[in-house]
Amino acid sequence: MISRLMDSLVMAAIVACLAGTGCERPKPQVIKPPDLGVSVTKPVIREIKDVDEFTGRTEAVGFVEVRARVGGYLQKVAFKEGAEVKAGDLLFEIDPRPFQAEIDRAQAKKMSDEARLRELTAEYARNKILHDRRALSLEELQKSEAARDVAAANIEADKAELERAKLDLEFSRITAPVSGRVSRAEVTEGNLISGQVTGSPVLTTIVPQTPVYVYFDVDERRFLEYLKNMAVRETTLDKIAEADIKVRLSLSDSADFPFEGEVDFADNRVNATTGTLRVRAVFDNSKRLMAPGLFARLRIESKEGHEAVLIPDIAILTDQGLKYVWVVDTKGVVARRDIRLGQSVQGVREVLEGLSADDRVIVLGIQRVREGATVVPKMVAFDDFGRVVSEKTPPESKPVDSKPADAKPAEPPTPAASSATPTPK
């Protein structure tokens, strides 16, 4: 009986719960996600100069192979390998004794021929007197005169031979023909050196250290632009050194361009295979910070500037080769804007087409936005290197509706009761 009574009470409670309102479930509350916050900035209008960048290699203004002019045994190596030498410094010394002996022989021969000349000169004078007295034939007088002239010519030959011997002695001391850095000694002391005119071995090499040349190639389009600018300045290609074209240079260990030089040479024709013109710039290397053969980047700035629209590099996105940015309108709606880029100026990029000075470009929070999304923009500023430096809204960069940049946009309106619990009546 008791179990039947309990079952009856349970059924009665279930029926009452289903029929009444005491067990009614509350409706789920709709919670709106918080508005997405992003940082935006306006493009900066600034005057910049057109910049062209090239790559090249540093080269020495000269390269000297030191060779022996005379042969003999190498007696001395008088330089430190890898050191800088000045023109005229002693590098090698060949045993000078054979050359000194040759000088002595040439000197003795010259003295002998001079004595012979004095003898023949006196004989000619006597024969001349005899001929005048008709005691000597004209033929004998002419023979005497010819012998005297031969002796005089022999003396001139002796002088040349003596001079050559002195040169050989001088050449036994091999000196630096130019100033620069000397390489290692290819021949060591005690070796026999050949002094042939051709085929003489290289003893060492010298590379001048300053100035330094940098050769680079300019494509046809830029070359034609340079020609137009030079024509305006009444400068021709053969006078390119007078055009005062400044060049900045950077080595592979630096992002800056600390070295300044100028263009001093352009080739006489465009390479038909590559469509480029070989150009040379010269740089001072008195501090010895460059060496021949280094990879170099060069930058040439135009002399006249132009106004450009600049945005940070971090705001630029790529879609299959197309460049675009996200912009936010006055209602906080995100839209994609395709752009065409110009040159890079440190950390900012020039925009040729697609943006105006009043557009607000998203720079932080780019990965979270999508086309048509509503965001809360916060105005920021960036420096000349494209870095965000302030999250305060500049007075001149406030939105058109004059509301604070960090306030939520008035439109579109937030649906009523989107995040709050309905108030029971």
For residues 330 and 256, state if they share a domain: no
Both 185 and 215 in one domain: the answer is: no
Whether 215 and 339 map to the same domain: the answer is no
Residue 16: inside a domain, yes or no? no
With beta carbons less than 8 A apart as the criterion, state whether 168 and 99 touch: yes
The answer to whether residue 12 sits within a structural domain is no
How many domains does the chain contain in total? 4
- Tokens 């006249």 correspond to 304
Cα-based distances in Å from 270 to 3, 215, 218, 267, 422:
111, 14, 9, 8, 80
Residue 141 backbone dihedrals phi, psi, to 5 degrees: -65, -40
Element holding 310 (H helix, E strand) = strand 295-312
User: What CATH number is attached to the domain comprising 123?
Assistant: 1.10.287
Are both 189 and 291 inside the same structural domain? Answer: no
Query: Residue 261 belongs to what domain range?
Result: 52-61+209-305
Question: Is 300 found in the same domain as 366?
Answer: no
Those residues with Cβ within 8 angstroms of residue 404's Cβ, 6 or more apart along the chain or in another chain: 393, 398
Give the tokens for residue 279.
Answer: 């150009």
Q: What is the pLDDT of residue 222?
A: 82
Q: What is the pLDDT along the chain (425 residues), one digit of tens a residue?
A: 555 655 665 566 555 555 555 555 666 665 656 668 888 998 988 888 878 889 999 999 988 999 999 999 999 999 999 999 999 999 999 999 999 999 999 999 999 999 999 999 999 999 999 989 888 899 999 999 999 999 999 999 999 999 999 999 999 999 999 999 999 999 999 999 887 767 788 999 999 998 999 999 988 888 877 777 766 566 666 667 667 788 999 998 888 889 999 988 888 888 888 889 899 999 999 898 898 899 999 988 877 777 888 988 889 999 888 999 999 998 889 999 999 998 887 678 889 899 988 899 998 888 888 888 888 888 888 776 566 666 544 333 333 333 333 444 444 444 433 333 344 43
Looking at 170, 190, 218, the residue that finishes a domain is 170
**Are 84 and 140 found together in one domain?**
no
d(CA 324, CA 342): 13
Residue 294 included in any domain: yes
Residue 406 lies inside a defined structural domain of this protein: no
CATH number at residue 332: 2.40.420.20
Q: Are residues 341 and 218 in the same domain?
A: no
- Any domain includes 138: yes
Helical ranges in 172-287 per DSSP H:
220-232
Query: Is the same domain home to 322 and 351?
Result: yes
Give a yes or no: residue 281 inside a domain.
Answer: yes
In a domain, 225, yes or no: yes
Q: Of 170, 192, 219, at which residue does a domain stop?
A: 170
> 153 with 180, same domain?
no
Exposed e or buried b for every residue in 295-307, given b needs 16+ CB within 10 A?
A: ebbbebbeeeeee
Please indicate, yes or no, if residue 264 is contained in any of the structural domains.
Answer: yes
Q: Domain boundary residue among 263, 282, 305?
A: 305
Q: What CATH number does residue 176 fall under?
A: 2.40.50.100
Residue 90 and residue 180 in one domain = yes
What pLDDT shows up at residue 406? 42
**What is the pTM assigned to this prediction?**
0.60
* CA-wise closest residue to 292 among 203, 207, 217: 207
Residues 198, 86 share a domain: yes
Report the C-alpha gap between 425 and 311 in whole angstroms.
Answer: 54
In sequence order, the 6+-apart residues with CB closer than 8 A to the CB of 157 are none
- Same domain (yes/no): 339, 391: yes
